[in-house]
Amino acid sequence: MTSLGLQVGKSNTLVRALPPRGWMGRILAVLAKYTGRITVKFDRKVVAGAIGVDVQKVTLTIVGKVLRNGVYVDFEGSDTIRVINPTFPKMSKYKQ
Protein backbone atom coordinates (compact mmCIF):
# COMPACT_ATOMS: atom_id res chain seq x y z
CA MET A 1 0.00 0.00 0.00
CA THR A 2 1.44 3.35 -0.96
CA SER A 3 -1.14 5.84 0.24
CA LEU A 4 -4.27 5.71 2.32
CA GLY A 5 -6.53 8.40 3.70
CA LEU A 6 -9.98 9.08 5.07
CA GLN A 7 -12.21 11.73 3.51
CA VAL A 8 -14.89 13.11 5.84
CA GLY A 9 -18.16 14.15 4.21
CA LYS A 10 -17.75 16.21 1.06
CA SER A 11 -14.59 17.97 2.23
CA ASN A 12 -11.33 17.69 0.33
CA THR A 13 -9.37 17.15 3.54
CA LEU A 14 -7.75 13.74 3.87
CA VAL A 15 -6.94 12.27 7.29
CA ARG A 16 -3.84 10.10 6.94
CA ALA A 17 -3.92 6.52 8.18
CA LEU A 18 -1.68 5.56 11.07
CA PRO A 19 1.17 3.25 10.07
CA PRO A 20 0.90 -0.33 11.34
CA ARG A 21 3.12 -0.91 14.38
CA GLY A 22 4.53 -3.82 16.30
CA TRP A 23 3.63 -7.47 16.06
CA MET A 24 -0.05 -6.79 15.43
CA GLY A 25 0.87 -4.71 12.38
CA ARG A 26 2.94 -7.59 11.04
CA ILE A 27 0.07 -10.05 11.58
CA LEU A 28 -2.39 -7.73 9.82
CA ALA A 29 0.03 -7.36 6.89
CA VAL A 30 0.26 -11.16 6.47
CA LEU A 31 -3.53 -11.51 6.71
CA ALA A 32 -3.98 -8.79 4.08
CA LYS A 33 -1.64 -10.63 1.74
CA TYR A 34 -3.64 -13.85 1.89
CA THR A 35 -7.20 -12.54 2.30
CA GLY A 36 -7.09 -9.33 0.26
CA ARG A 37 -8.58 -7.42 3.21
CA ILE A 38 -6.84 -4.67 5.12
CA THR A 39 -7.31 -3.17 8.56
CA VAL A 40 -6.73 0.56 8.80
CA LYS A 41 -6.47 2.79 11.87
CA PHE A 42 -6.80 6.56 12.15
CA ASP A 43 -6.12 9.03 14.95
CA ARG A 44 -9.48 9.29 16.72
CA LYS A 45 -9.01 12.95 17.73
CA VAL A 46 -8.12 14.03 14.18
CA VAL A 47 -11.16 12.23 12.73
CA ALA A 48 -13.47 13.68 15.42
CA GLY A 49 -12.13 17.16 14.67
CA ALA A 50 -12.74 16.67 10.95
CA ILE A 51 -16.33 15.49 11.56
CA GLY A 52 -17.26 18.43 13.76
CA VAL A 53 -19.60 18.87 16.71
CA ASP A 54 -23.16 19.33 15.43
CA VAL A 55 -23.26 16.34 13.09
CA GLN A 56 -25.61 13.37 13.41
CA LYS A 57 -24.65 11.43 10.26
CA VAL A 58 -21.57 11.66 8.06
CA THR A 59 -20.20 9.76 5.10
CA LEU A 60 -16.64 8.49 5.55
CA THR A 61 -14.69 7.48 2.43
CA ILE A 62 -11.40 5.59 2.46
CA VAL A 63 -9.24 6.27 -0.59
CA GLY A 64 -5.84 4.88 -1.47
CA LYS A 65 -3.56 2.96 -3.78
CA VAL A 66 -2.42 -0.65 -3.53
CA LEU A 67 0.10 -2.66 -5.50
CA ARG A 68 -1.73 -5.44 -7.34
CA ASN A 69 0.11 -7.71 -9.82
CA GLY A 70 2.87 -5.13 -10.22
CA VAL A 71 0.48 -2.24 -10.97
CA TYR A 72 -0.74 0.47 -8.58
CA VAL A 73 -4.53 0.44 -8.41
CA ASP A 74 -6.72 3.20 -6.93
CA PHE A 75 -9.44 2.06 -4.57
CA GLU A 76 -12.25 3.70 -2.65
CA GLY A 77 -14.87 2.57 -0.15
CA SER A 78 -17.41 4.55 1.83
CA ASP A 79 -20.07 4.22 4.48
CA THR A 80 -22.47 6.58 6.23
CA ILE A 81 -22.18 6.42 10.01
CA ARG A 82 -24.24 7.79 12.89
CA VAL A 83 -22.20 10.08 15.13
CA ILE A 84 -22.60 9.61 18.88
CA ASN A 85 -22.04 12.78 20.91
CA PRO A 86 -19.39 11.90 23.52
CA THR A 87 -20.36 14.78 25.83
CA PHE A 88 -23.57 12.99 26.82
CA PRO A 89 -22.61 9.34 27.32
CA LYS A 90 -25.21 6.82 28.42
CA MET A 91 -25.23 6.28 32.16
CA SER A 92 -24.83 2.71 33.28
CA LYS A 93 -27.90 1.33 35.00
CA TYR A 94 -25.60 -0.18 37.61
CA LYS A 95 -23.95 3.11 38.68
CA GLN A 96 -25.49 4.84 41.67
**14 part of a folded domain:** yes
- Report long-range pairs for 25-28 (Cβ below 8 Å, ≥24 apart): none
Number of domains in the chain: 1
Distance CA 47, CA 61 (A): 12
**pLDDT tens digits, 28-84:** 778 877 887 777 888 888 888 888 877 888 899 988 887 778 888 888 889 998 887
**90 part of a folded domain:** no
Q: Which domain holds residue 62?
A: 3-82
**51 part of a folded domain:** yes
**24 part of a folded domain:** yes
What's the angle, vertex CA 43, arms to CA 92 and CA 78, rounded to 5?
90
Distance CA 31, CA 38 (A): 8
**56 part of a folded domain:** yes
Q: Indicate the pTM of the whole model.
A: 0.65
